[in-house]
């Protein structure tokens, strides 16, 4: 009986694996086939490597990027491809792990694919970026916010299509000075590592610049709470902020940690006791999780579709997303992955070539149309100058329990730091 069972289990597992393998390969073929491109058929396709985290704790970012990329490819192919050639995506899972990221990138590089986009974690980006330099590839990241990528560790083969923390935090600080001039006591709950500290440093620098300038008020930082990364209990930090009488609170906790922090703050009536809460990192993740428990707060986002209602491109991406994924709230990562392909399209059409050197040259200083209006890629450090979107969410009675009641758009040119590739970022 025992042997029989073991064999049965083995047979089951093996057949499952075979099924999955077949499905995996089949699915790959299907997804990379050009979608009924009318004019684009018959020519050799242009291939892009999409390397995103699709398992592990960052999978939720990777999934949204993959969706944005697929929508972009469908639209490009429907409109005749790039220079008459159809576009194909080869999607790979980085597992948010640098060695897997390098392994999949190397594999695709050796198949002759030279253009890449995606990547959520800075560690993966820091591993893949020098590889691109060495192996003559080019990558546009759609998250990965460590400032080292465009400063100390910069190389010509790396591009960032998104806004960076410097721009976003400054925009949010400016908004606070404009809208809450009387909120002069500020505090924060941030993850205790470089990303957390640098977002706060940028935000604090912004507050110190804009409060005297715009609100004509002196500013006081009353509580800086650094929570250990991956903490399961934020109550001690929450009470510390409350006791400090801070009226404005900033957070860059992210993912599940942010949801835990927001959730645990509810019983303290935390959000009733402060004037304003600012989340710089989580797009729609917190409201989507919290539903009708969502407190009113401001969220920094890469792309908010309503802000670009008049743009046909934004509307098409939004409609396609809603239709395809049955979800009315695409996060900014959808827009960033879409924009990465749009940048490639514009660059290839400008250069009339797809080889790495020509594409890099064309990308530098390129201005192109994206779901959030015109974007310009700065030639010096390959950081994109683009709008920063900030949204305000409030709880409502009807499903899903929250809505966006206001948004603000800040132009990137006024906010961005001066380029200093090769040198560390300096805060004023």
Closest to other proteins by CB, 21 vs 79, is 21
Q: How far is the CB of 71 from other proteins (least distance, A)?
A: 17
Closest to other proteins by CB, 61 vs 415, is 61
Q: What is the DSSP letter of 144?
A: -
Rounded CA-CA distance 225/286 in Å is: 20
**Whole-number Cα distances in Å, 142 to 120, 194, 237, 282, 288:** 7, 19, 31, 14, 21
**Whole-number Cα distances in Å, 392 to 17, 265, 297, 407:** 46, 18, 6, 6
Q: Pull the structure tokens for residue 150.
A: 């465009």
148 burial class (0-12, 13-18, 19+ CB within 10 angstroms)? Answer: middle
Closest to other proteins by CB, 15 vs 367, is 15
Q: How far is the CB of 141 from other proteins (least distance, A)?
A: 14
Closest to other proteins by CB, 400 vs 419, is 400
Q: Pull the structure tokens for residue 349.
A: 């059409």
Q: How far is the CB of 221 from other proteins (least distance, A)?
A: 17
The most distant pair of C-alpha atoms in the chain lies apart, rounded to whole Å, by 82
Compute the Cα dihedral for 302, 309, 298, 425 and give only its sign. positive
Q: If we measure between CA atoms, which residue out of 1, 305, 302 comes closest to residue 163? A: 302
Closest to other proteins by CB, 6 vs 367, is 6
Q: If we measure between CA atoms, which residue out of 285, 344, 72, 297 comes closest to residue 176? A: 297
Q: How far is the CB of 82 from other proteins (least distance, A)?
A: 23
Q: How far is the CB of 125 from other proteins (least distance, A)?
A: 9
Closest to other proteins by CB, 229 vs 413, is 229
H-helix or E-strand spanning residue 327: none
Rounded CA-CA distance 410/173 in Å is: 11
Closest to other proteins by CB, 200 vs 368, is 200
Q: How far is the CB of 210 from other proteins (least distance, A)?
A: 29
Rounded CA-CA distance 137/128 in Å is: 10
Rounded CA-CA distance 197/300 in Å is: 17
Q: How far is the CB of 198 from other proteins (least distance, A)?
A: 10
Q: Are 305 and 330 in contact (CB under 8 A)?
A: yes
Strands of 287-363 (E only): list them: 297-301
Q: Where are the alpha helices (DSSP H) in 221-297?
A: 235-243, 256-265, 270-273, 285-290
Closest to other proteins by CB, 260 vs 383, is 260
Closest to other proteins by CB, 31 vs 369, is 31
Q: How far is the CB of 89 from other proteins (least distance, A)?
A: 12
Q: How far is the CB of 256 from other proteins (least distance, A)?
A: 4
């Amino acid at each position: 009986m025992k042997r029989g069972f073991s064999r049965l289990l083995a047979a089951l597992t093996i057949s499952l694996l075979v099924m999955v393998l077949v499905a995996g390969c089949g699915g790959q073929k299907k997804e990379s086939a050009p979608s009924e491109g009318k004019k684009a058929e018959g020519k050799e396709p242009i291939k892009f490597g999409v390397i995103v985290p699709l398992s592990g704790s960052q999978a939720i970012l990777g999934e949204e990027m993959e969706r944005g990329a697929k929508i972009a490819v469908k639209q490009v192919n429907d409109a005749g491809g790039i220079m008459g050639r159809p576009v194909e995506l080869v999607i790979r899972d980085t597992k948010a792990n640098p060695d897997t990221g390098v392994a999949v990138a190397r594999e695709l590089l050796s198949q002759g694919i030279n253009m890449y986009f995606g990547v959520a974690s800075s560690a993966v980006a820091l591993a893949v970026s020098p590889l691109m330099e060495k192996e003559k590839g080019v990558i546009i990241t759609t998250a990965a916010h460590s400032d080292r990528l465009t400063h100390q560790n910069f190389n010509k083969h790396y591009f960032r299509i998104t806004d960076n923390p410097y721009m976003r935090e400054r925009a949010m600080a400016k908004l606070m000075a404009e809208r809450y001039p009387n909120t002069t006591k500020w505090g924060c709950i941030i993850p205790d590592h470089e990303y957390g500290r640098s977002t706060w440093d940028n935000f604090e620098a912004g507050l110190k610049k804009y409060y005297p300038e715009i609100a004509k008020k002196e500013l006081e930082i009353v509580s800086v709470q650094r929570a250990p990364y991956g903490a399961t209990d934020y109550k001690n930090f929450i009470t510390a902020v409350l006791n400090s009488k801070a009226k404005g609170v900033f957070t860059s906790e992210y993912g599940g940690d942010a949801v835990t922090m927001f959730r645990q703050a509810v019983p303290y009536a935390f959000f009733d006791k402060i004037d304003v809460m600012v989340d710089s990192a989580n797009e729609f993740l917190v409201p989507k999780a919290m539903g009708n428990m969502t407190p009113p707060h401001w969220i920094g986002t890469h792309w908010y579709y309503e802000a670009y209602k008049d743009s046909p491109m934004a509307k098409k991406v939004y409609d396609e997303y809603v239709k395809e994924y049955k979800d009315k709230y695409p996060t900014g990562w959808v827009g960033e992955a879409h924009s990465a392909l749009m940048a490639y399209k514009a660059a290839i059409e400008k250069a009339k070539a797809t080889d790495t050197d020509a594409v890099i040259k064309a990308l530098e200083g390129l201005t192109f149309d994206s779901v959030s209006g015109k974007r310009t890629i700065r030639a010096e450090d390959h950081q994109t100058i683009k709008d920063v979107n900030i949204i305000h969410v409030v709880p409502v009675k009807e499903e899903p329990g929250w809505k966006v009641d206001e948004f603000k758009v800040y132009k990137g040119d006024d906010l961005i730091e001066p380029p200093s590739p090769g040198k560390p970022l300096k805060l004023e």
